[in-house]
Amino acid sequence: MRLFLLGGAAALFALSSCTAGASEPPSRIVITIEHSRFEPSKLVVERGTTVTFVVRNRDPIDHELIIGDRAVQRHHEVGRDKHHHGEIPGEISVPAGAERTTTYTFSRPGTLLFGCHLPAHYAYGMRGVIEVD
């Protein structure tokens, strides 16, 4: 497995190396939350890749990272489950000032979204896109 950064500035983002294959450790991507924004907010992942997301919340308020398609995002936007402890891949709550990880395998090509569905956060702009090649 190889890891590509698009754009030289992407080197500014904390991002570890990765390896390939089901038996190899997953890729690792650091997503930073500051001022209720995800950084980076666009990812491209090759089908079959397993990625461990390290989510660093630099805000003094709680956030979460929810990965999934539009139906998943819609479900969380209207749902009442506001605490995600990592049991479900790609869904994790990140308290203020904390760091949490969640691992997700991108098995099918297409476009996925990630966002925070605490009240008003998604509408404020806490969302991103993952293109799965």
| Complex with another protein: residue 58 or 74, whichever CB lies closer | 58
| Complex with another protein: residue 5 or 85, whichever CB lies closer | 5
Cα–Cα separations (whole angstroms), residue 21 to 2, 37, 47: 11, 32, 11
Distance CA 87, CA 15 (A): 24
Using the Cα atoms of residue 95, residue 69, residue 41 and residue 120 in order, give the sign of their dihedral.
negative
Supply 10's token pair: 């992407």
Q: Which amino acid is at 1?
A: M
Going by C-alpha positions, the residue among 129, 132, 133, 124 that lies closest to residue 31 is: 129
Q: What is the DSSP string of 34-60?
A: ETTEEES-EEEE-TTEEEEEEEEE-SS
Binding site for another protein (CB under 8 A): 1-10, 12-13, 15, 18, 20, 27, 29, 34-36, 39-49, 51, 58-62, 96-97, 116, 118-121, 123-124, 126, 133
CB of 110 to another protein, least distance (A): 15
CB of 56 to another protein, least distance (A): 13
| Complex with another protein: residue 51 or 72, whichever CB lies closer | 51
CB of 122 to another protein, least distance (A): 9
CB of 44 to another protein, least distance (A): 4
| Complex with another protein: residue 40 or 87, whichever CB lies closer | 40
